[in-house]
Amino acid sequence: RKEVEQDPGPFNVPEGATVAFNCTYSNSASQSFFWYRQDCRKEPKLLMSVYSSGNEDGRFTAQLNRASQYISLLIRDSKLSDSATYLCVVRTWGGSQGNLIFGKGTKLSVKP
């Protein structure tokens, strides 16, 4: 089983749509969770961290379900500029530090 699994998409949605991405992780010892965004031919950038209580940043809402080992990202009122690949990222602690484990990413394409 892959450590971090995501639906690769692509998700093709019209402007203004609400879209949800899901991610599952295999290691129950995982402690920290993130969504990164990667534009085409660009580097990944942190979109938001995901906290146990869930968190919201404008049009973006992230939720974590530790029991099901599941993370989600909801984007409301999609904009053309939201088109990118969204990477689910998990930090699992072991040894002296925790390293980031990346999913393959879910591609989003927002159309006019």
Partner 1 sequence: ETGVTQTPRHLVMGMTNKKSLKCEQHLGHNAMYWYKQSAKKPLELMFVYNFKEQTENNSVPSRFSPECPNSSHLFLHLHTLQPEDSALYLCASSQGAGFEYNEQFFGPGTRLTVL
CA separation for the pair 5, 23 (Å, rounded): 6
Q: Which stretch binds partner 1 (CB under 8 A): 11-19, 21-29, 72-80, 92-100?
A: 92-100
CA Rg value for the chain? 14
Residue 39 interacts with partner 1 (CB under 8 A): yes or no: no
Nearest CB to partner 1, comparing residues 53 and 112 = 53
CA gap 104, 94 in Å, rounded: 22
Out of 12, 15, 45, 52, name the contact with partner 1 by CB under 8 A. 45
Q: Is the CB of residue 73 less than 8 Å from the CB of residue 60?
A: yes
Q: Give the contacts of 111 (CB within 8 A, at least 6 positions apart).
A: 12, 13, 14, 15, 80
Q: How far is the CB of 32 from partner 1 (least distance, A)?
A: 5
Position 102 contacts partner 1 (CB under 8 A): yes
Residue in 27, 32, 55, 109 binding partner 1, rule: CB under 8 A: 32
Judged by CB under 8 A, which of 58, 67, 96, 112 binds partner 1?
Answer: 96
Give residue 45's Cα distance to chain centre.
Answer: 11
Does residue 100 touch partner 1 according to CB under 8 A? yes
Burial grade of 100 (CB within 10 A; 0-12, 13-18, 19 or more) = middle
Residues that bind partner 1 (CB under 8 A): 4, 31-32, 34, 42-46, 49, 87, 91, 96-105
